[in-house]
Amino acid sequence: MTNQKEQTANFQDMPEVQKNRWKIFISVSLFTFMATLDGSIVNIALPTIAESLNIPMNKSIWIVAVYMMTICIFLILFGKISDIVGKIKIFRIGTLVFIGGTFLSGLANSLDTLIAARIVQACGASMTMSTNLGIITEIFKPQERGKALGFIGSVVSLGSITGPSIGGIIVHYLPWSYIFWLNVPFGLLTLLLGVRYLPKDVSKTKGSIDFAGFFIYAAVIVLFFGSMFTGQEIGFNNTAIQISLALSLLFAILFIKYEYGKTSPLIEFAIFKNKSVTVGLICALIVFGANFFFAILMPFYLQTARGYAPSAAGFIMMAFPIVMVIAAPIAGSLAYKLGAGKLTILGLSIIAFVNFLFIFIKIDMNIAYFIMLVGLVGLGNAIFQSPNNTIIMSSVDKKYLGILGSLNALARNIGNIVGVTFATTILFAAMSFKAGQHISTYVKGEEELFMFGMHVTFVVSIFFILCALILSVWQEKKKS
Residues 42 and 180 in one domain: yes
Torsional sign, CA 155, 156, 158, 163:
positive
Residues 457 and 332 in one domain: yes
Residues 364 and 229 in one domain: no
Residue 370 pLDDT? 95
Quick: pLDDT tens for 352-379: 999 999 999 998 899 999 999 999 999 9
Cα 187 off chain centre by: 20
Contact 218, 239 (CB under 8 A): no
| CA 187/CA 410 separation, integer angstroms | 23
Which amino acid belongs to residue 255?
F
Contact 279, 471 (CB under 8 A): yes
Number of domains in the chain: 3
Residue 9 pLDDT? 64
Which amino acid belongs to residue 7?
Q
Is the model more confident about 168 or about 209? Answer: 209
Classify each residue of 51-80 as buried b or exposed e, where b means 16 or more C-beta atoms within 10 Å of its C-beta.
eebebeeeebbbbbbbbbbbbbbbbbbbbb
Contact 333, 146 (CB under 8 A): yes
CA angle 248, 250, 252 (to 5 degrees): 70
Q: Backbone dihedral region of 2: left (phi > 0), alpha (psi from -120 to 50 degrees) or beta?
A: beta
Residues 329 and 436 in one domain: yes
Helix (H, G, I), strand (E, B) or coil at 442: coil
Residues 311 and 457 in one domain: yes
| CA 442/CA 422 separation, integer angstroms | 16
Query: Would you give the DSSP letter of residue 271?
Result: G
* Of 3-7, 101-105, 108-112, the least confident: 3-7
| CA 240/CA 248 separation, integer angstroms | 12
Helix (H, G, I), strand (E, B) or coil at 427: helix
**Global pTM value:** 0.79
Contact 124, 95 (CB under 8 A): yes
Residue 306's domain comprises 271-480
Residues 13 and 105 in one domain: yes
| CA 397/CA 370 separation, integer angstroms | 43
Domain boundary among 265, 290, 309: 265
Residue 45 pLDDT? 77
Q: Judge whether residue 98 has pLDDT over 80.
A: yes
Listing DSSP states for 22-80 in one string gives HHHHHHHHHHHHHHHHHHHTTGGGHHHHHHHHT--HHHHHHHHHHHHHHHHHHHHHHHH
Contact 210, 84 (CB under 8 A): no
Which amino acid belongs to residue 86?
G
Residues 200 and 256 in one domain: no
Cβ neighbour number for residue 166 with a 10 Å cutoff: 17
Contact 71, 125 (CB under 8 A): yes
Q: How long a stretch of residues is the chain?
A: 480
Question: What CATH number has the domain bearing residue 121?
Answer: 1.20.1250.20
Residues 223 and 178 in one domain: no
Residues 118 and 168 in one domain: yes
Quick: pLDDT tens for 316-363: 888 888 888 888 888 878 877 788 889 999 999 999 999 999 999 998
Residues 420 and 434 in one domain: yes
Residues 221 and 360 in one domain: no
Listing DSSP states for 318-362 in one string gives THHHHHHHHHHHHHHHHHHHH-HHHHHHHHHHHHHHHHHHHTT--
pLDDT band (50, 70, 90) for residue 3: very low
Q: Backbone dihedral region of 339: left (phi > 0), alpha (psi from -120 to 50 degrees) or beta?
A: left
Residue 314 pLDDT? 73
Cβ neighbour number for residue 211 with a 10 Å cutoff: 10
Residues 315 and 443 in one domain: yes
Query: Would you give the DSSP letter of residue 198?
Result: P
Residue 7 pLDDT? 42
Domain boundary among 206, 226, 243: 206
Q: Judge whether residue 196 has pLDDT over 70.
A: yes
Residues 151, 153, 158, 164, Cα dihedral to 10° = 160
Number of H-type helices and E-type strands within the chain: 20, 0
Quick: pLDDT tens for 204-227: 777 788 889 999 999 999 999 888
Contact 170, 182 (CB under 8 A): yes
What are the Cα distances from residue 471, in Å, to 226, 275, 339?
Answer: 30, 10, 16
Contact 108, 114 (CB under 8 A): yes
Contact 37, 166 (CB under 8 A): yes
Is the model more confident about 441 or about 380? Answer: 380
Which amino acid belongs to residue 270?
A
Contact 472, 283 (CB under 8 A): yes
| CA 480/CA 478 separation, integer angstroms | 6
Radius of gyration of the chain (CA): 22
Residue 30 pLDDT? 85
Query: Would you give the DSSP letter of residue 270?
Result: G
Residue 265 pLDDT? 84
Residue 58 pLDDT? 65
Q: If you average pLDDT over residues 48-58, what whole number do you get?
A: 81
